[in-house]
C-alpha cells in the first residue's frame, strides 16, 4: 500500500511539468483513424521502426491489461497482457513536447543494449502520421503500437494517464514493477532507472 501511495504521489507531482492529456488534441470517436494507411506503411518501411512483436502469454497478476492495440504503421496487433520483460513500456504522443525531447534518449538506450526491451504506445494521438514521422526523425528502432481512444487509461492496474511521457517497467514475468511520469534526458538516465526497477539496464 505504501509503495502504491508513493507511485501515485510521484505521478501527481510529475503531472505539474509533463504534457497533460486533458488539454491536448484528443481522439474523435466520429473520426476513423487508419494506422495502417498506405502512406504510413510506406513511411514505416523507410524507417528503423520494426514490426510489432508476437506475444503468446496470457494475463498475469499485476501485469498489463488485456487490451489489444494496433501496430503503428501496420503489422500484427499486440495483446498488452502478453508482454513480458524486462521491458520498458513508454506512453507518448506527437503533440507532447516532453515526449519529443525524451524520444532520442529512449531510442539511443534501446539501440545500446538488448537486456531490456522497449515498446512505445502512441497515446491519445489523432495524428498517426505525425507520430511515425517523429519516431523516424528520433531514430526509433523499437516497436510502436497506438491507443488513439485511450483504452489503457485507468485500465487496471494502470493509473489514470494524466501526463506524458509515462513509463511502465515490466519484470520478467510481465508484472508491473514501477510506473512513473517523467521525461528522461539521456540514455544514461534511462539505463540507471531500468537498473533501479528491473535489476538490469544494459
pLDDT of 115 reads 97
**The residue count for the chain:** 202
C-alpha distances out from residue 189 to 30, 170, 196, Å: 40, 17, 11
Q: What are the residues whose beta carbons fall under 8 Å from the beta carbon of 18, sequence distance 6 or more? A: 96, 98, 163, 164, 165, 166, 181, 182, 183
Q: Which domains does the chain have, with CATH numbers?
A: 2-198 (3.40.30.10)
| Predicted TM-score (pTM) of this structure | 0.85
* Cα separations in angstroms, 89 against 23, 28, 38, 81, 126: 23, 25, 27, 12, 20
Residue by residue, DSSP assigns 22-74 as GGS----TTS---TT-HHHHHHHHTSSPPPPPP------TTB--S-EEEETTS
Least trusted range by pLDDT, from 15-24, 68-77, 102-111, 191-200: 15-24
> In this predicted structure, what is the pLDDT of residue 39?
83
Determine the pLDDT at residue 13.
42
| 8-state DSSP, 156 | T
Taking only the tens place, the pLDDT of each residue in 163-182 is 999 999 999 999 999 999 99
pLDDT tens per residue across span 8-57: 444 444 444 457 554 454 444 444 456 667 888 888 998 999 999 999 88
CB atoms within 10 A of CB 199: 13
Check residue 57 and give its pLDDT.
82
* The predicted structure's pLDDT at residue 193: 97
Distance CA 11, CA 9 (A): 5
Amino acid at each position: 500500500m505504501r509503495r502504491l501511495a508513493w507511485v501515485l504521489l510521484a505521478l501527481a507531482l510529475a503531472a505539474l511539468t509533463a504534457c497533460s492529456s486533458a488539454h491536448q488534441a484528443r481522439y474523435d470517436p466520429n473520426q476513423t483513424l487508419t494506422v495502417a494507411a498506405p502512406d504510413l506503411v510506406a513511411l514505416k518501411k523507410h524507417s528503423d521502426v520494426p514490426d510489432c512483436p508476437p506475444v503468446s502469454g496470457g494475463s498475469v497478476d499485476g501485469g498489463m491489461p488485456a487490451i489489444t492495440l494496433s501496430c503503428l504503421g501496420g503489422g500484427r496487433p499486440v495483446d498488452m497482457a502478453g508482454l513480458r520483460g524486462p521491458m520498458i513500456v513508454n506512453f507518448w504522443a506527437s503533440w507532447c513536447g516532453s515526449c519529443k525531447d525524451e524520444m532520442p534518449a529512449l531510442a539511443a538506450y534501446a539501440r545500446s543494449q538488448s537486456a531490456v526491451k522497449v515498446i512505445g504506445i502512441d497515446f491519445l494521438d489523432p495524428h498517426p502520421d505525425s507520430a511515425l514521422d517523429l519516431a523516424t526523425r528520433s531514430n526509433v528502432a523499437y516497436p510502436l503500437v497506438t491507443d488513439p481512444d485511450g483504452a489503457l487509461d485507468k485500465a487496471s492496474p494502470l493509473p489514470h494517464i494524466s501526463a506524458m511521457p509515462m513509463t511502465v517497467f515490466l519484470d520478467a514475468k510481465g508484472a508491473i514493477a514501477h510506473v512513473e511520469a517523467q521525461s528522461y534526458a539521456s540514455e544514461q538516465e534511462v539505463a540507471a532507472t531500468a537498473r533501479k526497477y528491473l535489476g538490469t539496464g544494459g
